[in-house]
Amino acid sequence: MAIENGDFVKIEFTGKVEETGDVFDTTNQDVAEEAGIYNKDKNYGPIPIVVGGKHLLPAIDEAVLGMEVGDNKKVTVDPENGFGHRDSSLVQLIPMKEFKKQGMTPYPGMKITAEGQTGKILTVNGGRVKVDFNHELAGKTLDYDLTISDVIDDDTEKVKSMINLHYAYPNMDLDKTEVEFDGDTIKIKLDEITHFDQKTYMDITFARYRISKDLYENMPYDKVQFVDEFEKRAEEESEETEENTESEE
């Protein structure tokens, strides 16, 4: 069946800068290694998205409509529909003393975050540092090679696909994630290894919000609950028994 907005699908893609042919993103590990952009912290392979869910550029969402499993399509995205045109006002000179206040030693290529914006240092010249806060792909035409790997129909798998997309935790086993549908509510009990996640409370809350939003906007449910449960184990009970025995002696 032809893909429509709201469908849960798995997609493979490789994106290149049209002017240079350089690969800037891909779901294929071999391509990433060949292009020199391999990231050991990234999980390669088809990624799950909700079509129309703003997980990819709008031009990509639109291109996916009407495709079917196994279909391949090449899409060209101009700057206006990609990451925008370059803005000269976003290239700024920052006094070196501002970096010293933060205990930082700036160098060309270094990425920094200031007032919620990510920038790349272009030059360091005396007491001034030139920083470009434009998106790295601003002003560039992009070529995407897309393939639809799968359409997800099962409700449980839809839930797990959004967990996989939004909650990147390398040790989490989705097979140990429990999903229950209760009336208008989806109840999710994540693999208990996530209890030891070192992310900030805000980051975890935001990830859960994004999962929930994609689910209740694209599935016939009104609520999403995350169940945090800690169960007493037999070995803990044994340790307590031993401690009580020792105290009685």
pLDDT tens per residue, range 80-125: 999 999 999 999 999 999 999 989 999 999 999 887 889 999 999 9
Per-residue pLDDT band at 221 (split at 50, 70, 90): very high
Q: How many CB atoms lie within 10 A of CB 209?
A: 12
Residue 146 has pLDDT above 80, yes or no: yes
Q: What percent of the chain has pLDDT over 90?
A: 80
CA distances from 75 to 2, 3, 176 (A): 18, 17, 37
CA-to-CA distance for 144 and 93, rounded, in angstroms? 34
Positive or negative: CA dihedral 192, 195, 197, 199: positive
Per-residue pLDDT band at 172 (split at 50, 70, 90): confident
C-beta separation of 51 from 65 below 8 A: yes
C-beta separation of 223 from 184 below 8 A: yes
Q: What percent of the chain has pLDDT over 70?
A: 93
Residue 44: name the closest of 71, 10, 18 by CA.
10
For tokens 């935001």, what's the residue? Answer: 206
Residue 8: name the closest of 53, 62, 63, 38 by CA.
53
pLDDT tens per residue, range 2-61: 999 999 999 999 999 999 999 999 999 999 999 999 999 888 999 999 999 999 999 999
C-beta separation of 138 from 149 below 8 A: no
